[in-house]
Structure 1
């Protein structure tokens, strides 16, 4: 069998240069917004195993996760300048192309028999790979394996990248999706938990970078024109022509990165439209994966180290409202004064106190994993009533499509990191009806929810990233259109930043 360089392999090789380079740069942008890695689900400050920031964590004051991001340069990350939402857009678009290419490539390897180029058929290959390594260190050229286009070391290293590293990066990437991780929570735990998965995903990135750092010098050692001609023409009969074409291709990849970065910084909404065209058709399928987590009390953040007050270690993100109304509610202990309004496009609008919510909940609780969009996680036990049960009480009218949640929080007033505006979120009815979409009023069986975690009442969306689990809930309204509210994108960060309303990934 000819194990040369068929046209589809050459096309895939060039496309993967584009996709992997975009994945690395956008991945660095995502990492920069929470530049710490952990071994545990519980991202307790001071317990990270790796940090990629010079910022120090304050030891004696409350600080939000929004203040922990680092401003990476656009020369390194895509697009740079703390634009997490746009970095996510590029990452998911590149993922779409990368995974599609790998699946097609894998099928073609099996169908054509080209899998033999990566899979050794003898244990002797491993011993020979060691000899090849010594040859390279001695600046001599090892010979290809009989009947192969690669030497043994190349065969094993390429096979590792294509057949092991790539499936691993796809798997760990998929299980950073809240919808996937929380639907298949047992697999999430088998993989070591959300933070181990995140760390492994980062190490895969390091693996790709290390591969390229070694691969490129070896291309020159073997002969740049000779090797690149194979990747362009499928043979080395015309090395100058092949080398020139390949070099032009690399220049075009660099130009593509420059154009993408500048375009993104100049017109983020256009990038958002492109993302929605490419990514939404498959990401919307994740609505079919409702969360079904069921951690036990021993998994609660803080409990694993024997702390009595586990809630103290459940990370806060965002600053509580500072209005006189909210401060009065907090001073009076919420219970007697707080009223949740539920209305809009319903038959039976109603108001409910915390006592009413407690009675309706009838002891219902769920212990779930919180996925911050920046990267931190915490496990908490939430007591509350499902949104689905509340909707059954108020009876949405025919044509109701979405549920809107409004917070006491005004971002510009309460959190100087952001521009002004009332914080709100919305969910399509399918998400509101998911069994673990909850209106919570108690955390970790320790009474009321602390102010830093969204008390007295908050929303829990377990299939989505954390910022959509709105805190300091004031009102719920059922609507038949969400796209006419404020800027029409479905939420505060969707309106003011670059985050898709579909935050299932």
Structure 2
């Protein structure tokens, strides 16, 4: 503890025998011969404190630098990316002009032939499934990020069947896991209908030529000479692989890792926990979420860049036409998603959560 000093006491003057004045010496105070261990009282609290110089305390180092260096760095980074993208386009265009690549593009135009009996068109149930999948997935990503950054939750949920408060989780985590269950249920219905109606043939590779055709489609995208889009009849091979990975690889990984991290997993199953450590689930779950974010961004970009009205009619209007029907249905679905995003607050979630448990502040 730092040493302190005591100001000398001046004897009261005859004019004011009852007054006691504490006079501070102008020079430096002599140190105490012992460390001060008693709280100096209210006088110390009222004593003004002087701040040390910024150089001595490092206050100047806390001052934020002007924003212009960051802006200049951002401009240079954007220019570098633009130059890199332009270089990639020019290189791929030159590469495709070579004779052997021309033959390759003729042999593999970018899409594989569908099996005999493959359905044509997108049925209405697939449009509804697409909306619900988007609705749940967007909210799952939102709540997942909220759970990761929510260090001190403001509200908690405890299951109604819990004893001694076991199973208590944050309200954000409860909402995240509830959305997971709804998304999983919607996915199971989707898989059943996918195979029952034959639509699986449009999103599952049925020939090995899907790989060279996917490479061909990717090169066409990079060269800005994009492959012909006819999603109503057949997706190009790059789309087929993307949909296959999303439906049959990324989605199951999200479910398996999510269940391992949830309260549904048996905590006392030592052998099971040892065979499937929770660290593995955590290491996979977040990258899978990033995959879905990237997939959504690329998917939406291509939908609008390759004929927005026709593509939106395929997904929402149930018709192969160029009109505004699908667009307005899509716009209405976006309004619902934004409204749900805004409404996902404890004030709205708490009454719903109380239907299956107890909601408390701490």
Please indicate, yes or no, whether the TM-score normalized by the shorter chain is above 0.5: yes
- Give the secondary-structure state (helix, strand or coil) at the position aligned to 1:28: helix
Measured after TM superposition, the shift of residue 496 of structure 1 is 3.2
| Structure 2 residue 352 is matched with structure 1 residue 271 | yes
2: CA distance between counterparts of 1:149 and 1:183? 49
- Name the structure 2 match of 1:234: 318
Shift of 1:182: 3.1
Q: Does the CA-based 8 Å contact 2:303-2:311 persist in structure 1?
A: yes
Distance 1:4-1:190 versus aligned 2 partners, 3 A rule: farther
Q: 1:220 to 1:184 in 2, by over 3 A?
A: farther
The residue number in structure 1 matching 2:361 is 496
1:203 partnered with 2:284: no
Q: CA deviation at 1:198?
A: 1.3
**Structure 1, gaps ≥5 residues long:** 34-68, 72-83, 281-488, 498-505
Of 177, 183, 186, 1:101 maps to: 186
* Among candidates 13, 16, 29, match of residue 130 of structure 2: 13
CA positional deviation for 1:145: 8.8
User: Pairwise CA RMSD of aligned residues?
Assistant: 2.7
8 Å Cα contact 2:232/2:320 also seen in 1: no
Is this contact kept in 2: 1:232–1:245, CA < 8 A?
yes
CA contact (8 A) 1:229 1:239 kept: yes
Superposition TM-score, scaled by structure 1 size: 0.43
Aligned length: 232
CA contact (8 A) 2:309 2:323 kept: yes
Match of residue 145 from structure 2: 28
Structure with higher strand content: 1
Deviates more, 1:95-104 or 1:136-145: 136-145
Q: CA deviation at 1:141?
A: 2.3
Partner of 2:61: none
Distance 1:240 1:145, change over 3 A: closer
Alpha-carbon distance between aligned partners in 1 of 2:208 and 2:343, rounded to the nearest angstrom = 47
Match of 1:259 among 335, 343, 353: 343
How much does 1:149 deviate? 2.2
Give the C-alpha shift of residue 268 in structure 1: 5.0
The 3 A distance-change label for structure 1 pair 246 and 495 is closer
Q: How far, CA to CA, are the matches of 1:96 and 1:140 in structure 2?
A: 42
| Residues 15-414 of structure 1 aligned to structure 2 (within 5 Å) | 15-33=132-150, 69=151, 85-143=170-228, 148-182=233-267, 185-191=270-276, 193-261=277-345, 264=346, 266-274=347-355, 276=356
Q: 2:88 matched to which residue of 1?
A: none
Q: Which has the higher contact order (CA 8 A, sep 6+)?
A: 2
In 1: Cα distance, 2:232 partner to 2:146 partner: 43
Cα deviation per residue 1:124-179 (whole Å; 9 max; x = unaligned)? 10111011011111122214699952100001001110111001100111111355
Per the TM alignment, residue 244 of structure 1 is displaced from its structure 2 partner at its CA by 2.0
Asked whether the 8 Å contact 2:220–2:227 carries over to 1, the reply is: yes
**Residues 384-463 of structure 1 mapped to structure 2, 5 A cutoff:** none
- 8 Å contact kept, 2:313–2:323: yes
Q: Distance in 2 between matches of 1:178 and 1:248?
A: 35
User: Which deviates more from structure 2 when the two are superposed, residues 229-238 or residues 117-126?
Assistant: 229-238
